[in-house]
Amino acid sequence: MRLDRFLSESTEMTRSLSKRALLRGEVEVNGEREKKAARHLAADDRVTWNGERLALVGLRYVMLHKPEGVECTARRGLYPRAVELIELPKVERLQTVGRLDVETTGLLLLSDDGQWSHRVTSPRRGSAKVYRATLARPLEGGEAERAVAAFAEGILLEGDNAPTRPAELEMLDSLEARLTVHEGRYHQVRRMFAAIGNHVEALHRESVGPLVLDADLAPGEWRELTADEIAAF
């Protein structure tokens, strides 16, 4: 790896700022001042900047309890971004693994490991996603039974060409439902309830595949995944 690239990936400097730091004599390799941006580093080379030992930022895997009013986009928009809640070096490299809309709360995964993210979201894997929904109108009795059956069979959503995959609907009470889906269509949960004539007032994601939202995380808090959690996908 070129030295200027190493500097840009191990600090907050850009490539151009890294080259300026080199010209100012701020960088040493193995104890010797180095000014050549194109120098290729060996695996065991020791790089310091203003006396501080540098190391590359590795791959990161994060669980966030997403609060309401936060969006899952890379570009800055009307709302705070999920990545802005996380305090890690080079945080802009993190990408959301799937998305939650601005109003939906709960488990959100972020990573800079593209292959891992693909495994989590791949339609072929069909990782179960569990949501808790608060409904605008009571759903009970025969109507609730018909909704359970309809979700289990699959629902053709407006604008789609194929029905949803079978989903498991559990009514916790007349206004609270737990829904397990096995795909990630646009606003899927909200659209499924709209298709049966109801409306989701609040939506919270409890789990993705084997990962359940850590009960110790308050809205807006995050933690890095454990090795076992990463390997679960």
Q: Active-site residues: which are they?
A: 101
> Which residue type does 176 have?
E
Contacts of 59 (CB under 8 A, 6+ apart): 111, 112, 113, 116
Q: What is the C-alpha to C-alpha distance for residues 44 and 26, in angstroms, rounded to an integer? A: 20
Q: Which of 54, 31, 29, 26 is nearest to 40 (CA)?
A: 29
> Which residue type does 39 have?
R
Rg (Cα) of the chain, in Å, rounded? 23
For 65, 146, 165, 193, the CA distances from 143, given in Å and listed in that order, are 33, 5, 21, 12
Tell me 164's DSSP state: P
Tokens coding 34: 């180095």
- 96 - beta bridge partners? 110
Q: What is the C-alpha to C-alpha distance for residues 83 and 81, in angstroms, rounded to an integer? A: 5
Tokens coding 193: 């309830």
Q: What is the C-alpha to C-alpha distance for residues 230 and 233, in angstroms, rounded to an integer? A: 6
Do 61 and 225 touch, CB atoms closer than 8 A? yes
